[in-house]
Chain A
Amino acid sequence: MNPTPSLPETNPTALPAPERADLRPENIDDAVIRLAGNSQDGIQSAGAFLARLAGRSAQEVMTYMTIPATISGGPSIFQVRMGTGEVLSAGDEADFLIAFYQHSYQDHIEFLREGGVLLYDSDNVEPNLDDKRYVYVGVPITGLTVEALGGTAKDKGKNIFVLGLIAKIFHLDVEKLTTLIKEKFAGKDESIANTAIMAFTAGYAYPVGNVLARRYQFSTVAKVPGAPDQITMDGNQALAYGLIAAGVRYGSGYPITPWSSVMETLRVELPKYGGLFVQAEDELAAVSITLGFSYSGNLAVTGSAGPGISLKSEAIGWASMAEIPIIIINVQRGGPSTGLPTNVEQSDLFQAIYGGHGDSPRVVLAAKTVEDCFYIAIEAARIARKYSTPVFILSDTSLATRIEAFDEPDLANLMLDPQPDLRPRETFKPYPLDAITQHAAPGTRIIDGKYPLITGLEHDEMGHPTGSPKLHMGMTAKRRAKLQKLADELPVTEVYGEQEGDVLLIGWGSTYGPIHDAVTRARRAGEKIGAIHLRHLNPLPNGLEKLFSNFERVLVVEMNDQGLYGYGQLATLLRARFCEPKIASITKTDGLTYRVKEILGRVFEGKTFPSRTAMHHGDGAVQTGNGATEVAAPLPHDATTAAATARAEAKVSVASDHAGDSTAQRPETYEAVMPSKDQNSTA
């Protein structure tokens, strides 16, 4: 690369080191890095290395990725937000965009923050250098990777080369990263690990200082002595390991995106614990095998995405009627029917609560973060056992595929012993009208000789069929009352942010991060706003009406359709439950996660909010692939100055999001659904 001429805002004489390639350090708290390429380029694994590194460095991390629905290849992104503060959402805008291809550049450049850095493969990308909003850093990534690795690897390894570049720019811990790379390839051919290290070293050694004036350094966090280590995993792994911690040792499933990786993990892990996960011939068999496991005294799990849950519905109704405990995971995707297999949506709430014929009460929980996937699995198992009931866990595509670092759980106190209780009983009634059913598994001797029958027919206390009106009323009430009892023991719902005031936001599931970020940002601007996040959706926790009364407006934020009457699924439920006319709805059906400013734009129409405090690039050089350089528009250096904040201030509007969070799967009708407002708001 050619050396760059001196830049107006980086006076070389003011720098302590004379060598031009030295990057000037700048402390930052938080950075959003988006890698955009094709799925076969391994950008997911490069991103995962960053996420795990952040976890090991006691930093917070949140990732966001898209996978193409095609079988092999296709545009794909991996976004990592890492930082020293609390990281709740994957970030509305990227500080750094790494574009491998022209299409990556074109599809994602509008997602780059003004003043952000575009790092592009100058062998494949020709950016529009006349657009002065960004800092351009061209590196011949493909050519240098091939050069570093020799001919046979072709351009495989450019993900790791880029990882080296990022490590240099962000002053990441090289030793930890190379250890992670070695661990990742441990057990494989040694040459693979060596090749990866070579690619990493080449990327790290690239004189990026010639094209970028500063390097960034995360504020270090001193680890509190005795504080738990961080572990890094995705939501589906967290569900699987949560179930294992909860003593769930059996299950059955059928492959479907985005659920499959839960069953893949359990299939491999459960035998280690003496258990078993069976891949069934279909969804109906999967839930039925699972019920067989549960009936045999071993609480078991099945799962799927919406289409598969539809197929399981009848058997889940049997579990309600027969009062058999079972955990059903629904990793939601866009519906209905085959829908959007790789996109996110929260449109299966009604299905979970009401997706059975007859009055078939079941418990429905929803995980709010990756960490919560772990804990909610434990809670689901506890509830299923205590109330002998089907329990749904709702997750979704975004939780399933994103990686978070979280405090290592206290396993010694969480692990449960899964052994069924087969001790003999003097006498036994499976369905006592005056108590919550607790089954005696087969193998249990009943000394008075009257054995229990488990059934989907309406039954008497011994499980024998009955058409008695009195018994049907009594048993229906029994099955309902135990869920009401569960509601009584649920913890009091806590309000995040303002405890009273203008707006209360209500969310459920994976929208936790953006909703809470939105509350934080709006409060900073003086808004009286709070939020509650419901993990228990059926039954709902008691006492919500008191919270509603403390706010002028109650807005339910969810990723589903507004329905025929203008309300999303949870909003509809809450309105029916509380008859509270001030409950209104914020919904969307673009198959993408909420962005913070999208929520703010819907809550406070027409108002503007400062964007998050983040790294800023006050300077930067424009480097084209052929070595020509230009200077980007200078910006203030200090990320936290009022000037910078003002500069980065994004006028909030829904339509402004159109430009940003782009993937190839953006629906054509987006603008028709969401009335267009100010298209130029980010400019």
Chain B
Amino acid sequence: MSDTLTAEPPREKLTKKAITADHPTWCPGCGDFAVLACYYKVLEKRQIDHEKIVTLAGIGCSSRFPYFVNGHGAHFIHGRGVPLASGVSLARPDLKVFLFGGDGDGFSIGGNHLEHGARKNINLTYVIMDNFVYGLTKKQTSPTSPIGFKSKTDPQGAIDQPVNAMKKLVASGATFVARTHASQVNHMIQMIERAMDHQGFSVIECLSECVEFFPGAFDPANPRKGGSFEVIDEKKWDNTPEDENRHDTTDELAAYKLAQIPFPGVFGVFYQNDRATKNALEKKWVDSTREKLGQPTDLALLQKTFDRMK
């Protein structure tokens, strides 16, 4: 139970220790450890008020995330993280809403919500830890499993076309779409910070290896494993000839072109625009409605409505 305080106690600096909770239950070597570490780092670096941090998740290995963060948080049901986070975001503009999940949660069972959360441009940051496999249920084909991937549900190798996360997100209307890799900590921190600063539906696909059921899946993009981590060269708008060839993050078609590059593809911000958020549009409606009505009290407002029903 609780003891409510009337006076506001002094605030201490937010440390990694303060935001660390249970020891993660992930398998040793899981890519998700690095994502968690980056999340701690960003929160510490940006000194967000502890109580304003909200960490939400659906179901999956990666969705265990909130248990490992000491802060307000909720572990919801499979695939519905986006609408849960939308409710929190729309009702409480004072909070920093973060959502974590995996490829099954985001692209399969929750695919419809991802689509509409993006379209409505709800102000939140969503990190999808994509490991190309169902890990919590022990190796079934996921919506991002490559064709030919052998799993318990596709012993002959996966036959279904995998989701192209970047294309799906850009097409859905997400206003910040980025891709990163759990082995590239600095890049990941950069992406999380930029996503967090973005007003709107910001999504990061983070390739995060499942060492148990799909080991080595992302080695082709890991320089330490002989791969190459190719970062998108974004336009600097410096009027130089080199800039001509750089990626314009506001160009939707260019984003699709980058998304066409075969696996392991490129990393960085594919797309970003500043379309108005649902949060802002709804608020505008509320504000103008209330202004038109002359800021009445709730009682006066309902009384007036009932007077019209007499």
Contact = CB atoms under 8 A, between A and B. Distances in A.
A and B from one complex: yes
B273 interface: no
B247 interface: no
Interface in A256-297: 269, 271-276, 278, 280-282, 284-286, 288-297
A241 interface: yes
A287 to B, nearest CB: 8
Contact of B75 (A183, A298, A429, A457): A457
Contacts of A426: 2-3, 5
Given A281-B112, A290-B87, A292-B86, A443 B94 contact: yes
Contact of A231 (B113, B293, B306): B306
A25 to B, nearest CB: 27
Interface stretch (A5-13, A446-454, A608-616): A446-454
A120 interface: no
Interface in B1-28: 1-6, 8-9, 18, 21-22
B77 A276 contact: no
Interface in A405-460: 408-409, 411-412, 415, 417, 421, 423-429, 432, 435, 438, 440-447, 449-457
Contacts of B18: 449
A105 interface: no
A656 interface: no
Given A443-B52, A443-B95, A245 B302 contact: yes
A454 B309 CA distance: 42
Interface string A237-250: 00001001101001
In this complex, which of B21, B85, B89, B90 has the most chain A Cβ atoms within 10 angstroms of its Cβ?
A: B90
B246 interface: no
A454 B73 CA distance: 6
Contact of B83 (A229, A292, A453): A292
Interface stretch (A314-322, A544-552, A668-676): A314-322
A289 B97 CA distance: 14
Contact of A318 (B66, B73, B76, B95): B76
B147 interface: no
A304 interface: no
Contact of B72 (A247, A435, A442): A442
Contacts of B95: 296, 442-443
Contacts of A284: 79-80, 83, 113
A131 B186 CA distance: 91
A46 to B, nearest CB: 18
B5 A447 contact: yes
A512 to B, nearest CB: 22
A320 to B, nearest CB: 12
Contacts of A425: 2-5
A56 interface: yes
B41 interface: no
Contacts of B86: 278, 285, 288-289, 292
A274 to B, nearest CB: 6
B310 interface: yes
Contacts of A322: 74
Contacts of A295: 74, 84, 87-88
A435 B1 contact: yes
Nearest to B90: A276
B261 interface: no
Nearest to B289: A271
B71 A451 contact: yes
Contacts of B88: 292-293, 295-296, 442
Interface in B50-92: 50-52, 54, 66-67, 70-77, 79-80, 82-92
A290 B92 CA distance: 13
A55 interface: yes
Interface in B183-213: none
A79 interface: no
B80 A429 contact: no
Interface residues of B, number: 60
A474 interface: no
A442 B54 contact: yes
A180 B18 CA distance: 64
In this complex, which of B71, B87, B309 has the most chain A Cβ atoms within 10 angstroms of its Cβ?
A: B87
A313 to B, nearest CB: 11
A464 interface: yes
Given A231-B306, A272-B301, A289-B86, A315 B77 contact: yes
A282 B67 contact: no
A241 B82 CA distance: 29
Given A281-B115, A447-B5, A252 B76 contact: no
Contact of B74 (A233, A271, A273, A455): A455
B73 A453 contact: yes
A452 B83 contact: no
Given A276-B90, A429-B2, A288 B76 contact: yes
A148 B63 CA distance: 70
A658 B286 CA distance: 51
A429 B2 CA distance: 7
Contacts of A293: 87-88, 90-91
Contacts of B115: 281
Nearest to B297: A415
A432 B52 contact: no
B45 interface: no
A464 B69 CA distance: 11
Contact of B301 (A273, A289, A429, A435): A273
A435 B2 CA distance: 11
A230 B282 CA distance: 34
B198 to A, nearest CB: 20
A411 B302 CA distance: 8
B91 A432 contact: no
B72 A452 contact: yes
A346 B282 CA distance: 36
A423 B5 contact: yes
A69 B302 CA distance: 33
A680 B88 CA distance: 62
B167 interface: no
Contacts of A280: 83, 116
B94 A453 contact: no
B290 interface: yes
A232 interface: yes
Contacts of B286: 271, 274-276
Nearest to A286: B83
A531 to B, nearest CB: 30
A454 B81 CA distance: 13
A300 interface: yes
Contacts of B52: 442-443
Contacts of A282: 112
A465 B8 CA distance: 31
B87 A427 contact: no
A409 B9 CA distance: 43
Contacts of A55: 309-310
B75 A276 contact: no
Contacts of A252: 83, 87
A435 B54 CA distance: 25
Contacts of B21: 453, 464
Given A322-B74, A442-B92, 19 more contacts: A233-B309, A271-B285, A272-B301, A276-B91, A289-B84, A292-B89, A292-B90, A314-B77, A421-B4, A425-B3, A427-B3, A429-B1, A442-B95, A443-B52, A443-B94, A451-B72, A454-B74, A455-B74, A455-B75
18 contacts: A229-B310, A274-B290, A278-B86, A280-B83, A284-B113, A291-B87, A294-B87, A296-B95, A297-B92, A424-B51, A425-B2, A427-B3, A428-B2, A440-B2, A443-B94, A451-B70, A456-B76, A456-B77
Interface of A: 52, 55-56, 183, 229-233, 241, 244-245, 247, 250, 252, 269, 271-276, 278, 280-282, 284-286, 288-298, 300, 314-315, 318, 322, 408-409, 411-412, 415, 417, 421, 423-429, 432, 435, 438, 440-447, 449-457, 464-465
